[in-house]
Amino acid sequence: MTSRLNPYINVPDGRAREAVEFYRSVLGGELSIMTFGDMGMEGDTANLVMHSQLETPAGYTLMVADAPEGMVEVTYGNNISVSLSGDDTEALTGYFNGLAEGGKIAMPLELQGWGDVFGQIVDKFGISWLVNIAGEGNQG
């Protein structure tokens, strides 16, 4: 039996659909979305995203959902980041630049003392992303 670990992002203010569609535009892949209405809820919550799942060509799985008031409390902080790493310079640089659109670059994507190219951004939804491109001889 196998299992996997993947990020699950809760987005306030009814912006989960916007967020996951943004992530798909940057990372590519197949997206599935289930709303609260699909599960029988009515009213203001019906059109909100109960669960979405993005499966990317690179093998990443990202899940995103709305955080309806009274159901999920979102507290922003710096206690977690989503990390993308590998040795595909073109793809990872593209992800960094795409995720930075409308967000804030906390650390530019540049060569670091450990031999890798690394950068950090906070995207327009308040999510921190780390991008690490393995240097020659490094595979990580």
Write the pLDDT tens digit of every residue in 10-64: 999 999 999 999 999 999 999 999 999 999 999 989 999 999 999 999 999 999 9
Q: How confident is the model at residue 69 (pLDDT cuts 50, 70, 90)?
A: confident
Residue 3 domain-assigned (yes or no): no
Place of tokens 């990372």: 27
Residue 1 domain-assigned (yes or no): no
Q: 87 and 62 share a domain?
A: no
Pair 6, 18: CB distance under 8 Å: no
DSSP symbol at 121: E
Question: Domain range holding 38?
Answer: 8-66
DSSP annotation string for 67-111: --TTT------SS--EEEEES-HHHHHHHHHHHHTTSEEEEEEEE
Residue 27 domain-assigned (yes or no): yes
Pair 14, 71: CB distance under 8 Å: no
Number of domains in the chain: 2
CA–CA separation, 132 vs 85, rounded Å?
5
